[in-house]
């Protein structure tokens, strides 16, 4: 009989009370351990038994070496079939919670409180050059994280939608659970994206879309395919740190184009383009990271005109568009993907754990990028892409995105007051998004700069993102990028108020 059939039969029986599963004696008595079977639960009986024994082992209620009841005895005590009891033990053995000894039975392995305490990652004390691209992901989740780039997990109200999607994909009878996917990515997801983009005024075919492991992977594929060491690239200053780091590591020459409250300095961009003949420009049109500003339509037209005049590609980071408005300029649609490459992902709108994104461009370039994708990492995960499609097809997904957008608007206004009360001034007034940039009108020195202040904050268990990480040329003042979604602001506010006193500036 199958496990599913066994569960169905056993659910029809009368619900049994919590059952004692064993009281082993290894020199002295141990407290009884109970498994509470819920026959109305959606969780299979095998998983219920397994998870509760595993939890008891982790707590130390079942000590290492404890002999568990035999399969027959466990089945009798819990009122389940021998098949279910044996399956639970098999799963516990696979998870290394128990060990099966031939002729002797099942014994709890060293676990939980009886295990040596694992060595915790060493606490960060310096803000290294890899701080935003690596160290924040290592240390930031266990500290106050106003300097991180992700939303709090509690903001993803569609966690149940993701879970339901995962279960539907797991139950499907296809080869995607074991085989490589299509080189360009799951075809139905690419078709969905193409339809969605076309409905928003960008006519595109699935053949122009390549699925990736998120936006950073998409950017890396573009850099590897379209740029060569020594190529000049126009970048926003301040701008997206990951692109700057990737292009620099690839040997490209970064040409900073200032972006601020007045938009992009396209006069300087034109001069740089004429002098250096860049191969590309990287730009975030909507709710730029770190400033939170959206490009003005006149700047968008002017930028595309420069790209045409000087024959360079435009790499458009479009990840925040769903948090913007229908009136925001869209370079990919304005250009028709002739020389614009659009990169996007789902870390902000679904969940960062899925690591899924895409790029859209002209079909010839898409084929070249596809070859790079296969040479550097083969296919992306079709399982993940099927889950993403399931979520995108759920009506609750759009509502979830709207809720996140509303929460960000409210959080931004509250965060402005926090920074103002701490004595900081905004660099720009954002048009939306997750970030605020603020600091002091103080010229950085070797002993007084954003990185040193961030290291002081680390000693007080707070992660900050110094402004110089987003700049190609040194910033003229001391400032930081703040993630407004992380509202644990009382320690931050107290720390920021002390900074002028510690460093001897301000009144």
- Greater confidence, 286 or 460? 286
Highest mean pLDDT among 70-74, 86-90, 196-200, 301-305: 301-305
Q: What is the per-residue pLDDT for 15?
A: 41
What pLDDT, in 10s, does the model give residues 378-423? 999 999 999 999 999 888 888 888 999 999 999 999 999 999 999 9
Tokens of 122: 């060493």
Q: What is the per-residue pLDDT for 445?
A: 92
DSSP helix/strand/coil, 50: helix
Summary count for the chain: helices (H), strands (E):
17, 16
Q: Give which of 351, 422, 433, 414 is closest to 388, Cα–Cα.
A: 351
Confidence of residue 75 (pLDDT cuts 50, 70, 90): confident
Q: What is the per-residue pLDDT for 279?
A: 98
Q: Give yes or no for a contact between 65 and 111, defined as CB atoms under 8 angstroms apart.
A: no
- The yes-or-no verdict on residue 425 having pLDDT over 50 is yes
Q: What is the per-residue pLDDT for 237?
A: 97
Q: What percent of the chain has pLDDT over 90?
A: 53
Q: Give which of 456, 465, 467, 468 is closest to 495, Cα–Cα.
A: 456
Highest mean pLDDT among 7-21, 219-233, 384-398: 219-233
- The yes-or-no verdict on residue 239 having pLDDT over 60 is yes
Q: Is the pTM of this model over 0.85?
A: no
| DSSP result, 451-474 | HHHHHHHHHTTB--EEGGGG-SSP
Confidence of residue 143 (pLDDT cuts 50, 70, 90): low
How high is the mean pLDDT of the chain?
Answer: 85
Confidence of residue 56 (pLDDT cuts 50, 70, 90): confident
Q: Give yes or no for a contact between 425 and 439, defined as CB atoms under 8 angstroms apart.
A: yes
What pLDDT, in 10s, does the model give residues 247-278? 999 999 999 999 998 899 999 999 999 999 99
DSSP helix/strand/coil, 480: strand
Distance CA 143, CA 132 (A): 14
- The yes-or-no verdict on residue 27 having pLDDT over 50 is no
DSSP helix/strand/coil, 97: coil
Beta bridge partners of 83: none
Task: Among 160-174, 324-338, 342-356, 493-507, name the one with the lowest average pLDDT.
Answer: 160-174
Q: What is the per-residue pLDDT for 272?
A: 98
Q: Give yes or no for a contact between 391 and 162, defined as CB atoms under 8 angstroms apart.
A: yes
- The yes-or-no verdict on residue 81 having pLDDT over 80 is yes
Q: What is the per-residue pLDDT for 441?
A: 92
Q: What is the per-residue pLDDT for 116?
A: 46
Confidence of residue 306 (pLDDT cuts 50, 70, 90): very high
Q: Give which of 62, 54, 57 is closest to 26, Cα–Cα.
A: 62
Distance CA 282, CA 274 (A): 17
Q: Which residues contact 189 (CB under 8 A, 6 or more apart)?
A: 211, 385, 386, 388, 389, 392
Number of Cβ within a 10 Å radius of residue 415: 23
- The yes-or-no verdict on residue 6 having pLDDT over 50 is no
| Segments making up each domain of the chain, as ranges | 3-114, 131-155+398-503, 159-393
- Greater confidence, 22 or 273? 273
Q: What is the per-residue pLDDT for 144?
A: 61
Q: What is the per-residue pLDDT for 122?
A: 52
Q: What percent of the chain has pLDDT over 70?
A: 86
Q: What is the CA radius of gyration of the chain?
A: 28
What pLDDT, in 10s, does the model give residues 443-502? 999 889 999 999 898 888 888 999 999 999 889 999 999 999 988 778 888 899 999 999
CATH for the stretch 131-155+398-503: 3.90.1150.10
Q: What is the per-residue pLDDT for 134?
A: 64
CATH for the stretch 3-114: 1.10.10.10
Task: Among 97-106, 134-143, 271-280, 401-410, name the one with the lowest average pLDDT.
Answer: 134-143
pLDDT average, residue stretch 294-308: 97
Q: Give which of 121, 118, 91, 127 is closest to 106, Cα–Cα.
A: 91
pLDDT average, residue stretch 51-79: 85
**159-393 maps to CATH 3.10.100.10:** no
């Amino acid at each position: 009989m199958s496990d599913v059939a066994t569960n169905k039969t056993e659910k029809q029986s009368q619900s049994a009370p919590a059952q004692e599963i064993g009281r082993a004696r290894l020199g002295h008595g141990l407290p009884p351990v109970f498994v509470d079977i819920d026959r109305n639960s959606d969780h299979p009986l095998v998983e219920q038994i397994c998870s509760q024994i595993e939890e008891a082992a982790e707590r130390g209620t079942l000590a290492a070496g404890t002999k568990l009841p035999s399969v027959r005895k466990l089945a009798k005590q819990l009122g389940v079939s021998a098949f279910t009891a044996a399956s639970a033990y098999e799963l516990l053995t696979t998870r290394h919670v128990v060990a099966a000894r031939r002729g002797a039975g099942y014994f709890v392995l060293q676990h939980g409180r009886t295990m040596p305490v694992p060595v915790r990652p060493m606490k960060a004390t310096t803000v290294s050059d890899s701080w935003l691209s690596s160290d924040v992901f290592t240390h930031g989740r266990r500290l106050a994280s106003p300097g991180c780039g992700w939303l709090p997990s509690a903001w993803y109200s569609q966690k149940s939608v993701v879970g339901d999607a995962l279960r539907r994909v797991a139950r499907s009878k296809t080869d995607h659970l074991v085989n490589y996917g299509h080189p360009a990515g799951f075809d139905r997801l690419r078709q969905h994206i193409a339809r969605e983009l076309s409905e928003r005024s960008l006519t595109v075919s699935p053949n122009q879309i390549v699925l990736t492991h998120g936006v950073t992977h998409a950017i890396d594929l573009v850099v590897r395919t379209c740029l060569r060491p020594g190529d000049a690239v126009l970048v926003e200053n301040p701008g997206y740190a990951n692109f700057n780091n990737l292009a620099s590591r690839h040997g490209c020459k970064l040409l900073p184009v200032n972006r601020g409250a007045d938009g992009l300095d396209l006069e300087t961009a034109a001069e740089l383009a004429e002098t250096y003949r860049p191969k590309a420009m990287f730009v975030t049109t909507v709710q730029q990271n770190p400033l939170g500003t959206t490009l003005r339509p006149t700047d968008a037209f002017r930028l595309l005109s420069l790209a045409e005049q000087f024959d360079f590609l435009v790499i458009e980071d479009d990840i925040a568009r769903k948090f913007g408005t229908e009136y925001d300029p869209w370079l990919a649609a304005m250009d028709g993907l002739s020389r614009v490459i659009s990169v996007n992902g789902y870390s902000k709108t679904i969940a960062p754990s899925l690591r899924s994104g895409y790029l859209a461009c002209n079909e010839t370039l898409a084929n070249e990028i596809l070859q790079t994708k296969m040479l550097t990492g083969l296919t992306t995960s079709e399982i993940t892409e099927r889950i993403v499609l399931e979520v995108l097809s759920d009506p609750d997904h759009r509502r979830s995105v709207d809720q996140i957008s509303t929460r960000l608007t409210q959080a931004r206004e509250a965060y402005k007051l926090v920074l103002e009360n701490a004595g900081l001034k905004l660099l720009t007034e954002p048009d939306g998004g997750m970030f605020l940039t603020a600091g002091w009108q103080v010229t950085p020195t070797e002993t007084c700069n954003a990185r040193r202040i961030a290291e002081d904050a680390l000693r007080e268990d707070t992660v900050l993102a110094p402004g110089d990480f987003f700049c190609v040329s040194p910033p003229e003042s001391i400032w930081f990028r703040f993630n407004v979604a992380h509202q644990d602001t009382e320690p931050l506010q107290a720390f920021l108020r002390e900074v002028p006193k510690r460093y001897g500036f301000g009144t």
